[in-house]
Amino acid sequence: MEFITLPAKRVPVTARADVVIVGGGPAGVGAAVQAARRGVDTVVIERFGSLGGINTLGYMYITADLDGRTINGVSKELISRLEASGHVANILDKYPTITSNPLTHYYSGSGDRDPDMSLLAYDPDMMAFAMNEMLEDLGVTVMLRSLFVDAVVENDSIKAVIVENASGRQAIEGKVFIDATGRADLVARSGAPFVRAGCDKTGFPMSPGLMWKMANVDFGRLFEYQKIDPTLAKLIEKAQAEGGVPYYRRKRTREDTGCDFCPKYSGHPTLEMQPTLYPGEMLLWASAEYELGLHADDSADDLSQAETHTKKQIMSELEFLKKYVPGFGNAHLAGIAPFLGIREGRHPIGEYVLTYEDIMSSRKFADVALRPVDHIRVKTNEGFRRLDVEIPYRSFLAKKVDNLLLAGDAISAEHAAQFYATHLFPLAVSAGEVAGTAAALSVKQNKKVKELKWPGPL
């Protein structure tokens, strides 16, 4: 590989803050709210032109709630703002049979509706506006269209982060920094240790995905047809015979991969779809082919391939739906998300690495920082069993760098544990709230984040 040596260049310091958050997705917003409410100057750096990340720009605007407890804290405040303006709907109330529909992303597998579960769909643009309004009200400085490119580290502490935007290259100094990138970009650039994304059984990361939506879908005709062909298997078989699904790939199973999570987004047509709050609008999932093993989190080539590949699959599935599936004949493409969902990024090696066994055994921690109420429940003969998950404060602390906190999908957790701990909108927001709280306490008490005595779960 050849290299080019760039000349030394002075970078202007354009902002200073107590807390600097890299990433304006759900975790970054949660962190910013809690830090600002505790009276510390806060800056959020966001590479796109809107807040919310995967949950707004990425079209992942459906989220589950159990007992009214999964959505809490800042995520509840945001949902309440949208409820007041009529931009949220409980899909399970609107379409009562949805949990017995094998194509729904939240299919229960049993045909039974968990009576404590709500499935909320919101308007993503209104959510982005609500996030922006909330941070503006709190006096948080939000730098949009600003790409984080590097970190300046001195004596095991981050002094500044470097960004590129319309004004050129700039340095943002801070006392405490939070990685809310979802890919652990700040971890990687600061020299903190991490493990590359990927399942320890297959070596492949969870496939990146792209959300898309169709409008003018006739749900009545679709649901009626599914009474005789629930998974559209007959139509897929017919289309295969006629060459109507060129990107068809059989979904992998746990037996194929040895992993519980890797097969979830492994086949096409995925046809995992969900009605939204608007009549006739259907939200769909598209995933890059699992066997490609794309590391869209840290490889520019893989990221480009994932974007191109998933869009080709979307076009293939769009044609299949319109030609073969009742209810889609007069439907049309309503949008492809501009934000590729990277389901698995780098895994920071924090002061504690949360494991799958910790999740499954409901392990308790003396320094518990968060008890997320997970949306996945196991149905047993006695009823639905929930996972009593705890995440320790140590999983929010990066090794080697003294003033770096981890948030959202960038917390210190294994491949499978991360899937349970932070993947939903409210879980990511809550993980951000922990980091934002810790950052503010560190500044207020003039202590390093690793010296804090954590006050207890949020």
Q: What is the mean pLDDT for each group of 10 consecutive residues in the chain (458 residues)? A: 90 97 98 98 97 96 83 94 95 80 66 70 97 98 98 98 97 98 97 92 87 95 90 91 82 78 73 90 91 92 94 92 96 96 93 92 93 65 72 97 96 88 89 97 97 88
Q: Residue 403: what pLDDT?
A: 98
* C-alpha span between 184 and 180 (Å, rounded): 7
* C-alpha span between 29 and 344 (Å, rounded): 20
- How crowded is residue 408: how many other Cβ atoms within 10 Å of its Cβ? 33
Q: Residue 382: what pLDDT?
A: 65
Q: Residue 258: what pLDDT?
A: 77
At residue 88, the 3 state secondary structure works out as strand
* C-alpha span between 287 and 271 (Å, rounded): 11
Q: Residue 112: what pLDDT?
A: 54
Q: Could you tell me where the beta strands, DSSP code E, fall in 102-236?
A: 117-122, 141-143, 147-154, 157-165, 168-179, 194-195, 209-215
The reported pTM is 0.95
Give the architecture (CATH level 2) of 13-96+122-196+346-451: 3-Layer(bba) Sandwich (3.50)
| Long-range contact set of residues 263-267: C-beta below 8 Å, sequence gap at least 24 | 263/290, 264/206, 265/206, 265/207, 265/209, 265/290, 265/343, 266/207, 266/290
Residues 6+ apart with CB under 8 A from 33: 74, 134, 135, 138, 140, 433, 436
* C-alpha span between 401 and 157 (Å, rounded): 5
Domain with CATH 3.50.50.60 in the chain: 13-96+122-196+346-451
Query: Is the distance from CB of 51 to CB of 26 less than 8 angstroms?
Result: no
Q: Residue 289: what pLDDT?
A: 86
At residue 458, the 3 state secondary structure works out as coil
Q: Residue 323: what pLDDT?
A: 95
Tokens linked to 124: 């993503």
Tokens linked to 222: 């679709």
CB neighbour class for 430 (10 Å; exposed up to 12, middle 13-18, buried from 19) = buried
Q: Residue 192: what pLDDT?
A: 98
At residue 254, the 3 state secondary structure works out as helix
